[in-house]
A and B are shown apart, each in its own frame.
Chain A
Amino acid sequence: MALLEVDNIRAGYGDGPDILKGLSMEIEQGKTYCIIGPNGAGKSTLLRAICGLLHPREGNVTFKGEVLNKLRTDEILRRGISFVPQDRCLFPDMSVKENLRMGGYILRNRKELEDRIEEVLVMFPILEKCGSQQAKTLSGGQQQMLAIGRALVLRPEVIMLDEPSLGLAPKIAQYIFDIIAQLKDAGMTIILVEQNARKGLECADWGCVLDLGYNRFEGPANTILNDPRIQELYLGRQKQDRQEKTA
């Protein structure tokens, strides 16, 4: 049985139309998954449905055998799934340390929380340096680091990242992908949604292509990366470019 199973879910926002129309996916422990697809395909919606910000209208989200559908976000966080939303989603007037503290909001034990914050700061020395700076004053890359660090405070088993490289300069984005690689090496299960499909697939084991609310293609990341149809449809490569790029 897979660690996390998404079984034919339908989901949408408020009274609005279905965005996910019958999506299924299996997430195995320790692997890194990259989800790509055009705008409106439901990539963010999928992540939100998994971590409880949205409840599926039909179908099940199962984690270690337990159905997550009706659970609140804090209950899902407690079970070991963390989420790094798009656009960092930080608390702008709180300091780096306070943001990390909020990451551990569901932890009641003060000491445990402090220890976890320490761990994250050790992992991201840059954050240690700007410890008492307000989050809104950080650079894009630092903010993304903080967002990831915040999710790590809970020592999750599964971490989901929604477009972590968005809006970052290529060098900084690369740094973020390096961090993701580190997490991968540490054995974490990672679900990555990326517009920068190439980079995302490069650091993943498995790729899923979402379109119009369905999981259209999936397979080993390498295969997806090199498949010509997908390259044309989603990776934006024209037929002519291919010769140059493979050089």
Chain B
Amino acid sequence: MSDTLVSNEVKPIRTTESLKKPSRRQKIFLAVLLMLLVSYPLLQFVVGGLNYWLHMLLFTFMYIAMASSWNIIGGYAGYTSLGHNVFFAVGGYFAGVLLVYFDISPFLTAPLAGLVSMALGLLVGLISLRTRGPAFIISTIAMVMLVKITFDNWDYIGGTNGMTMPPLLDISLDLVKFPFYYYMLFIAIGAVYMSYRIRHSKFGLGLRAISQDEIKAEVAGIPTSYYKILAFGISGLFVGMAGGIWGYYLTYLKPNIFLLIILAAQLVLMTVLGGKGTVAGPVVGAVLFIAVNEFFVANLGFTELNIVATGLILALVLIFFPSGIVGTLKERGKLPPFLDWD
């Protein structure tokens, strides 16, 4: 073709973001934060009655892991998945079945559940990521529906009634949340670390190229299909693990609680709000979302308005701050270093 600038949609050339190594200060910040989080439960012995906070924290860790994972396909690669809770459900049920029928603790099987979810992601990705464009989003929605209908009709796993699972009986009430807390923390750390490593890798660079202009990325020699499919699979890994643990924590599994689109919506909102495509964004978004959600549910409690609020905030963020909190701060040069992990 003649002119290099053929279409009307030339994207502005972003200055190359230096993928800097974390500074000493950032490392210290991270170390301190982790120490605090690890030692927090020990306060239970000192003060007691912290179960509510332990619950909130492990819930937050879970969402941090899920948002960071979603970010890999939705943020880095730019392919929106609206069915991510499928990985959650599949992981949950996989670990659940192994517990109920074979007596194997989800603490052992969660990583396996994660791998199963990853396999599902790779399989679905193989079918739906061969094309560019909206076919992928549509297939993620179809994926949720497919899994939901299958689970609803599958008696082995309890159909619509789901399965109840044996709780951790021989631990005192004070301590019962501990294993879940640490496991979720571990999953969150894993997911965020993975997100960080991908961001700073050739793979991550390739994904970002795909999100900016897939045709040019392909022409430049990036194996786009392979990268996309891999990203989608990887994005299911920690989500599946979290699902495995969460089902055990809840002591029951039901298709209805896992496979509602509102959960996928919340995941999208968190990541977009925090800043998709950044490392810190999903973390910030998850924390913020859960805090605000708790506040609203505690004070208002209407589930319908909850849905409206989710949609409204998402719309506002998309229209006015499409790069999210971390992204927008970064663009304006005002990002505090402890949030800058890109």
Contact = CB atoms under 8 A, between A and B. Distances in A.
Task: Determine direct contact between A and B, CB below 8 Å.
Answer: yes
Interface range on chain B (Cβ under 8 Å from partner): 10 to 19
B3 A39 contact: yes
Contacts, number: 36
Nearest to A44: B3
B172 interface: no
A163 B2 contact: yes
Interface in B1-22: 2-5, 7-13
A13 B9 CA distance: 7
Contacts of A17: 13
Interface string A1-43: 0000000000011111101000000000000000000011001
Contacts of A54: 8
A53 B8 CA distance: 9
Interface residues on A, range: 10 to 19
A39 B10 contact: no
A15 B3 contact: no
Interface string A40-56: 10011100000001100
B10 A14 contact: yes
Contacts of A44: 2-3
Contact of A43 (B3, B7, B8, B10): B3
Contacts of B4: 39-40
A13 B5 contact: yes
A13 B8 contact: yes
Contact of B5 (A16, A163, A166): A16
B8 A14 contact: yes
B2 A14 contact: no
Interface string B147-168: 0000000000000000000000
Contact of A40 (B3, B9, B12): B3
B255 to A, nearest CB: 44
B10 A13 contact: yes
A163 B3 CA distance: 11
A44 B5 CA distance: 10
A230 to B, nearest CB: 18
Contacts of B9: 13-14
A164 B7 CA distance: 18
A23 to B, nearest CB: 15
A195 interface: yes
A19 B5 contact: yes
Interface string A85-105: 010000000000000000000
Nearest to A19: B5
A166 B2 contact: yes
B12 A15 contact: yes
A13 B5 CA distance: 9
A40 B8 contact: no
Interface in B311-328: none
Nearest to B4: A40
Interface in B263-297: none
Nearest to A54: B8
Nearest to B7: A13
Contacts of B7: 13
Contacts of B5: 13, 16, 19, 40, 45
Nearest to B2: A39
A32 to B, nearest CB: 21
A39 B7 CA distance: 14
Contacts of A43: 3
A40 B13 CA distance: 16
A166 B12 CA distance: 29
A45 B2 CA distance: 12
Given A43-B3, A45-B3, A195-B2, 19 more contacts: A12-B10, A13-B7, A13-B8, A14-B8, A14-B10, A14-B11, A14-B12, A15-B12, A16-B5, A16-B10, A17-B13, A19-B5, A39-B2, A39-B3, A40-B5, A44-B3, A45-B5, A86-B2, A166-B2
24 contacts: A13-B7, A13-B8, A13-B9, A13-B10, A14-B8, A14-B9, A14-B10, A14-B11, A14-B12, A15-B12, A16-B10, A16-B12, A16-B13, A19-B5, A39-B2, A39-B3, A39-B4, A40-B4, A43-B3, A44-B3, A45-B3, A53-B8, A163-B2, A166-B2
Interface of B: 2-5, 7-13
